[in-house]
Chains A and B, each alone.
Chain A
Amino acid sequence: MYDVAIIGAGVSGAAIARRLSRYRLRVALLERCVDVSFGVSKANSGIIHAGFHHSPSSLKARLEIEGNRAFDGLQAELGFPFRRAGIVVAAFSVEEMKTVERLYAQGVENGAPDIQIVGRDRLLALEPALSRDVVGGLFAPSGGIIEPYRFVFALAESAAANGVRLFTGWEAVGAHRQGDEWRIVSAAGEELAARWVVNAAGLRADGVSAMFGAEQFTILPRKGEEFILDKGSAGPPSRVIFPVPARTSKGVLVIPTVEGTVMLGPTADEGGDKEDTTTTPENLDRVFRLASQMVPRISKRDIITSFAGLRPTLPGDDFMIELSRAAPCFVQVAGIQSPGLTASPAIAERVKDLLKSGGLELREKTEWQPGIPRVNRTRDHAPRELDRLVARDPAYAHLVCRCEGVSEAEVVEAIRKGHTTLDGIKYYTRAGMGRCQGGFCTYRIMHLVARETGLPLERITKHGPGSELVLGRIGSPP
Chain B
Amino acid sequence: MIRRAIDAVVVGGGSAGLAAALRLRESGATVAVVEREPFLGGILLQCIHTGFGLHEFGEDLTGPEYAERFIRPALSAGIEIFLDATVTEIGEELEGRSVTVLSRSLGVVRFSARVVVLAMGCRERNRGNVAIAGTRPAGVLTAGLAQRLVNIEGCVPGKNVVIVGSGDIGLIMARRLTFVGCTVRAVVEIQDYPSGSARNIAQCLNDYSIPLHLGHVVTRIEGRDRVEAVRVAPLEDGNPSPNREFRIPCDTVLLSVGLIPENELSRAAGVPINEGTAGPWVDADLMTGARGIFACGNVLHVHDLVDFVTEEARRCAERAAVYLEGGAREPMIPVNAGANVRCVVPNACAPGRQNVFYLRSLVVKNDALLELRVGGQKIRTKKLAHVQPSEMIRFGLEPGAIQEPDSDTGRVIEVAIR
Contact = CB atoms under 8 A, between A and B. Distances in A.
Nearest to B145: A439
A470 B156 contact: yes
Contacts of A397: 102-104, 106-108
Interface string A435-476: 111111011001000000000011001111111111111110
A471 B102 contact: no
Interface string A392-407: 0011011100110101
Contact of B36 (A228, A402, A461): A402
Q: Taking chain A's interface residues, is the majority helix, strand, or loop, or is none over half, making it mixed?
A: mixed
Given A384-B1, A386-B107, A474 B149 contact: no
Contacts of B133: 278-281, 284, 306
B107 A391 contact: yes
Contacts of A440: 123, 145
B128 A386 contact: no
Contacts of A437: 126-128
A280 B102 CA distance: 41
Could you say which of B89, B108, B110, B220 has the most chain A C-beta atoms within 10 Å of its C-beta?
Answer: B108
A383 B87 CA distance: 12
A168 interface: no
A257 to B, nearest CB: 15
A1 interface: no
Interface in A365-397: 378, 383-384, 386-387, 390-391, 394-395, 397
A474 B107 contact: no
Given A303-B131, A443-B149, A461-B138, A281 B219 contact: yes
B135 A471 contact: no
Given A277-B136, A402-B36, A461-B138, A466 B225 contact: yes
B225 A467 contact: yes
B134 interface: yes
B154 interface: yes
A438 B136 contact: no
Contact of B131 (A306, A436, A471, A478): A306
Contacts of B137: 462, 467
B298 to A, nearest CB: 14
Contact of A278 (B110, B135, B157, B180): B135
A221 to B, nearest CB: 14
Contact of B155 (A306, A391, A436, A474): A474
Contacts of A279: 133-134
B264 interface: yes
Interface residues of B, number: 56
Contact of B102 (A384, A398, A442, A443): A398
Interface string B85-129: 010110000000000101111111010000000000001101111
Contacts of B139: 469
B398 interface: no
A474 B123 CA distance: 26
B104 A398 contact: yes
B272 to A, nearest CB: 14
A96 B58 CA distance: 70
A439 B219 contact: no
A470 B102 contact: no
25 contacts: A275-B224, A278-B133, A284-B133, A306-B131, A378-B102, A383-B1, A383-B89, A383-B108, A386-B108, A394-B104, A397-B103, A397-B106, A397-B107, A397-B108, A405-B88, A442-B141, A462-B138, A462-B225, A463-B225, A465-B225, A467-B225, A470-B155, A472-B181, A473-B154, A473-B156
Interface of A: 228, 232, 275, 277-281, 284, 300, 303-307, 378, 383-384, 386-387, 390-391, 394-395, 397-399, 402-403, 405, 407-408, 435-440, 442-443, 446, 457-458, 461-475, 478
Sort A-B residue pairs by CB-CB distance and give the 7 closest, nearest first: A466-B225, A305-B128, A462-B138, A398-B104, A467-B138, A467-B225, A470-B155
Given A437-B126, A468-B138, 13 more contacts: A278-B222, A305-B127, A305-B128, A457-B153, A462-B225, A463-B138, A466-B225, A467-B225, A467-B226, A470-B158, A472-B156, A474-B150, A474-B155
